[in-house]
Structure 1
Amino acid sequence: MNIAHWLARSASLSPDRAALFIGNQCFADYGGFDSCARDVASGLATRGVKAGDRVAIFMSNHPDWLIGLYGILYAGAVAVPMNAKLHGREAAFILDDSGAALCLTDERHAEALKGAGVTCGCIAPRALMQGTGTGAIAHRDQSDLAWLFYTSGTTGTPKGVMITHGMLQAMALSYGVDVDHVSGEDTAIYAAPLSHGAGLYNFMHVQAGARHVCPASGGFDGTEILDLAAHFGRCHMFAAPTMVKRLTTVAVAAGRKGEGLRTVVYAGGPMYTADIIAAVDQFGPVFVQIYGQGECPMAITALSRSDVADRSHPTWETRLGSVGRAQSVVEVRIEGAEQAGQSGEIMVRGAPVMLGYWNNAEATNKTLRDGWLMTGDIGHLDAAGYLTLQDRSKDVIITGGSNVYPREVEEVLLRHPQIMEASVVGAKHDDWGEEVVAFIVGDAPTDALDALCLENIARFKRPKRYLRLDALPKNNYGKVLKTELREVVEAQKSEPPAR
């Protein structure tokens, strides 16, 4: 079944129910949402888009983002959502690799793609509308692709995770069992990018006929979120740990308790125990943690609101430091572990696990083994099934909930003729979780390196510190010892940034 039928069902049942908002201003009801999506689907068809074709979305959070997504799905095409913070050249790679027939975008991102020399057709969702709103919904099977999510490995080479209609349905239905119940009285606030977890969570809210709010600021502002929650009531939002911490800081300073904030699902990076304790103290039992990957979107484990808020269980602090128990649609195990508490690579099997990587059989074969997803993360399960993450086998840096892959930053730095070696690591940061730190061998000025990064990669991937060495530490095989580099960063954490 095409998951977009969930929108059609909600629209047929309650066409006048308010659906899409910018701030507290209604943008469309469910009847209008459905009609606009059908109109976009018709417009895509007139431009030759067929079932199975890829159509990218490269734009900031806006109701038109969701209308465009459902237009793509109604047409039977495959959505390729791209992080709105990406550099135009990074987005251009994804467009080329996915073979996108078209890119739905806004004016600012269209300019970024033009500057990167993109030849794929770029068009605003509204420009596709013919005013008919009568396009049919294409039939799709459970195994048909719905969403192509681009992630990256430690090499920094983006890979397209193939997400099917069945995977999305399993993820959304499991949410109702393991994470939170959604009703038509609820409101989803999209303060995190729709291209990632926040956007994936639209489906269960559409199915329930809930409201969808894009903040007028276009991003995350703590005061704005608190105001929206108080205005709408029964609000849900997905947030990176750094967003939770910032929201708590704003609330404490303003003496606000988050009235109207019903559920905050946090994921996407390490949440420090002290930070979540402070958040629960301020807002009460509204927090749920999930653990997922693009390869098993939002659906590996969940730590319930009762577990997050509990302070009476003998092992509550240990459980609070975990990522919870396996969601109902998956099995989780630790490779090689014969008893509880043994560490190893986390493995997942179940309905939400990806088909594989787009046009990348080699990476698929390394990651999927006999139906099991090898997550690349190291952890252990206790006797009650709580999973604790211990380390990432990959060197991914998670800053503000966004992934930074050291290799891609290193490759940009090494383009400078005065840089002989470069190695990038993550350093703990109180606000962002981690920050990007570059070790360099060479005489390139800091300003020149900053400019080089801004010309080639997203701003959030740019190193916040440059530490200069005569040579990078290496083992006998010539591999850079990043453990030693992290120790250097830790030893210098009290020193001010280089700029």
Structure 2
Amino acid sequence: MNPATYLTRAARLYPSNPAIFSGTTQITDYAGFADRAARLGQGFSEKYGIGSGDRVALFISNCPEYLDLLYGVWFAGGVVVPINHKLHPREVAWILNNSDASLVIAEGQQADTLQTTGSCPVLDVSSDAYRDLASASPLSDPVPRASDDLAWLFYTSGTTGRPKGVMISCGNLQAMILSYFTDVDAARTEDTSLYAAPMSHGAGLYNFIYVLRGARHVVPTSGGFDPAEIIGLAGHHGNICMFAAPTMIRRLVSQAREQGYDGTGLRTIVYGGGPMYLADIQDAVEHLGSRFVQIYGQGESPMSITALSRDLVCDRSHPNWAARLASVGTAQSCAEVRIAGPDGDTLPAGEIGEILVRGPQVMLGYWQNDKANAEALQDGWLWTGDMGTMDADGFVTLRDRSKDVIISGGSNIYPREVEEALIAHPNVAEACVVGQTDPEWGEIVIAYVVCEKGTALTASELDAFCLDQIARFKRPKTYHFVNELPKNAYGKVLKTALREREGVTHT
């Protein structure tokens, strides 16, 4: 099914429902939303020849037009190629060439820069040409698409080399959507979907859930994540539902504490995309209440591997509540999940291995990359590259990316365990642990630490604290105190960048 069908159905059921907002200002209702997408679809088809399976890249920041463009591309039968708007033009050009994009939609100076690449036509979303495109006669219906047809071609962040194009089909999206309703949150018509995280990533895929319900879609006027702005929008709109990376939640809780805000107007905050430390989620629940749901997924299986419900996030009655809260929950309805050793055999409960998943939500494969497909997709299972354990009740706990495991003196050290110990210190705001090559031990543990504002720590103080938390061989050998950790546009800490500092490497 063409994803644009979700919008046409919503427009018939909820034509006068407010649909898209810029901050507190309504842009259009559902009838207008669907009409605009249908006109864009016709314009894409007439002017640029976009048809079934043609790739259209979106290289723009969060804005209300993003939703129009998504559905306009799908109306024409095209495939959306979302690109992080913070990428360098050379990186964008590589993605455009690799995906064989028929059109790239950009904005302002970025559009002007891309005009010089010559790889495909460029449409400036702020131009008269775009406005003319949106005034075309509307397509009567979305171009038919099958379940296995490509809909979303997402390029991985590429921190260890060239990014890979993850092929997500119409059927993959449908499985993801149905699992969300079942396992994550029962979205409602009165809800407000807030896009504070990049719409070029997972946050953009949340739109389907709320389009199907005829709910509101709000893009902050800042175009991103501003805790004070979000608190204000929650008070104005109410029933805010949003995705937030763990680092974003930490900032939101800090702002809430400063303002004396209790979470009024926020309904659901779905968190994922990086490690949520136990101390941080406990602090978030304490200050903002029962509003948090955790999901675990990746571009290859978006939002749809495991989930930890809001009830479990708040439960303190179960004997294993702390371990469950530190986990990423249990398999979602669409997914089979298991922990495997290098030979692919399932490991016993509690043993660390690679997390494998299969189901109708798992990608078709990587775009034109047979080598990567052979490594990631084996006997129907997606090898996620994440290391974890599963307990007897099915709760999965992430340990680390397989490439991040530190082997020191023949012993495996999982950085997340060390980071959990560091973040437990009241003066530590953020921590990241990487491995550094060492002639005696093979690798040693290096910690990068950001202190809470107005506080300070010494290496010896933090070392003594670690020794009270974890085994001696796991503790960092060196502590670097920094003002901030390098992150990508999605809030993930770039461990590769940390390894490159001061000669830190990883084999």
TM-score normalised by the shorter chain: which range applies? Answer: 0.7 to 0.9
Matched, 1:348 2:360: no
State the Cα deviation string for residues 174-206 of structure 1 (Å, max 9, x = none).
000000011110000000000111101111110
Matches within 5 A, 1:308-319: 308-319=313-324
* Alpha-carbon distance between aligned partners in 2 of 1:45 and 1:432, rounded to the nearest angstrom: 48
How do 1:30-45 and structure 2 match up within 5 A? 30-45=30-45
1:427-451 deviation per Cα after TM superposition (whole angstroms, max 9, x unaligned): x89656649x999xxxxxxxxxxxx
SS at match of 1:292: strand
Are residue 215 (structure 1) and residue 175 (structure 2) matched?
Answer: no
Residue 339 of structure 1 and its aligned partner are, at CA, apart by 2.4
Which residue is 1:70 aligned to? 71
Between the aligned partners of 2:109 and 2:359, the Cα distance in structure 1 is 39
SS at match of 2:105: strand
In 2, Cα distance between equivalents of 1:9 and 1:311: 42
Q: Secondary structure at the match of 2:182?
A: helix
Q: Matches of 1:44 and 1:280 in 2, distance apart?
A: 46
1:194 to 190, 193, 199: 199
Give the secondary-structure state (helix, strand or coil) at the position aligned to 1:231.
helix
Normalised by the length of structure 2, the TM-score is: 0.80
CA distance in 1, matches of 2:274, 2:161: 18
The answer on 1:230 being equivalent to 2:235 is yes
Structure 1 outlier segments of 4+, above 6 Å? none
Note the C-alpha offset of 1:484.
Answer: 2.5
CA deviations on 1:388-420 (whole Å, 9 max, x unpaired) are: 011211349xxxxxxxxxxxxxxxxxxxxxxxx
- Give the match for residue 309 of structure 2: 304
The alpha carbon displacement at 1:313 in A equals 1.2
Q: How far apart in 2 are the matches of 1:315 and 1:285?
A: 19
| Counterpart-to-counterpart distance in 1, 2:115 and 2:258 | 43
- Please list the CA deviations of residues 115-163 of structure 1 after superposition, one character each: whole Å capped at 9, or x if unmatched: 7x35421112545223423453100000000000101566321100000
Q: How do residues 142-157 of structure 1 correspond to structure 2 at under 5 angstroms?
A: 142-152=147-157, 155-157=160-162
Contact 1:325 1:387 in 2 (8 A): yes
8 Å contact 2:192–2:239 — kept in the other structure? yes
From 387, 392, 395, the equivalent of 1:383 is: 392
Q: Which residue pairs with 1:366 in the alignment? A: 375
- 1:266 aligned partner: 271
SS in 2 for 1:493: strand
Give a deviation string over 1:343-385, Cα, whole Å, max 9, x none: 2111001010011000001110110011100011111111110
8 Å contact from structure 1 (residues 246, 431) kept in 2: no
Contact 2:39-2:138 at 8 Å conserved across structures: yes
1:48 and 1:360, CA in 2 relative to 1: closer, same or farther beyond 3 A? same
* Per-residue deviation, 1:49: 1.2
Secondary structure of the equivalent of 2:85? coil
Q: Name the aligned partner's letter for residue 67 of structure 1.
A: D
Matched residues in 2 for 1:21 and 1:150: separation?
28
The structure 2 residue matched to 1:337, chosen from 346, 354, 376, is 346
Determine the structure 1 residue equivalent to 2:144: 139
Map of 1:264-303 to 2, 5 A cutoff? 264-303=269-308
Query: What's the CA shift for 1:230?
Result: 1.2
Distance 2:13 2:250 in 1: 39
Q: Displacement, 1:341?
A: 1.1
Alpha-carbon distance between aligned partners in 1 of 2:7 and 2:33, rounded to the nearest angstrom: 8
Do the aligned partners of 2:57 and 2:101 also contact (CA within 8 Å) in 1?
yes
Q: Relative to 1, partners in 2 of residues 1:432 and 1:113: Cα closer, same or farther, differing over 3 Å? A: farther
> Are the equivalent residues in 1 in contact too, given 2:291–2:310 (CA < 8 A)?
yes
**Contact 1:242/1:431, CA 8 A, preserved across alignment:** no
Query: Any conservation in 2 of the 1:4–1:70 contact (CA below 8 Å)?
Result: yes
- Distance 1:168-1:496 versus aligned 2 partners, 3 A rule: closer
Q: Which amino acid aligns with 1:486?
A: I
Question: Displacement of 1:110 after TM fit?
Answer: 1.3
Q: Describe the shift of the 1:201–1:434 C-alpha distance in structure 2 as closer, same or farther (beyond 3 A).
A: farther
The CA distance in 2 between the partners of 1:243 and 1:379, in whole Å, is: 24
Read off the aligned partner of 2:14 and give its amino acid letter. S
Q: Secondary structure at the match of 1:486?
A: strand
CA distance in 2, matches of 1:323, 1:158: 26
Q: How many residues align?
A: 430
Percent identical among aligned pairs is 52
Which secondary structure state, in structure 2, belongs to the residue aligned with residue 268 of structure 1? Answer: coil
Q: 1:154 to 1:122 in 2, by over 3 A?
A: closer
Indicate conservation of the 8 Å contact 1:92/1:118, yes or no. no
Deviations 1:266-306 (A, max 9, x none): 00111111111111011101000000011111100001101
Q: Which residue is 2:466 aligned to?
A: none
Query: Do the aligned partners of 1:39 and 1:129 also contact (CA within 8 Å) in 2?
Result: yes
Secondary structure of the equivalent of 2:164? strand
Q: Does 1:486 align with 2:446?
A: yes
- State the secondary structure of the residue aligned to 2:365: coil
Matches within 5 A, 1:81-160: 81-114=82-115, 117-123=117-123, 124=125, 125-152=130-157, 155-160=160-165
Describe the shift of the 1:431–1:354 C-alpha distance in structure 2 as closer, same or farther (beyond 3 A).
farther
Give the deviation of 1:493 after TM superposition.
2.9
SS at match of 2:199: coil
Equivalent in the alignment of 2:52 = 51
Q: What residue number does 1:408 align with?
A: none
The CA distance in 2 between the partners of 1:245 and 1:258, in whole Å, is: 14
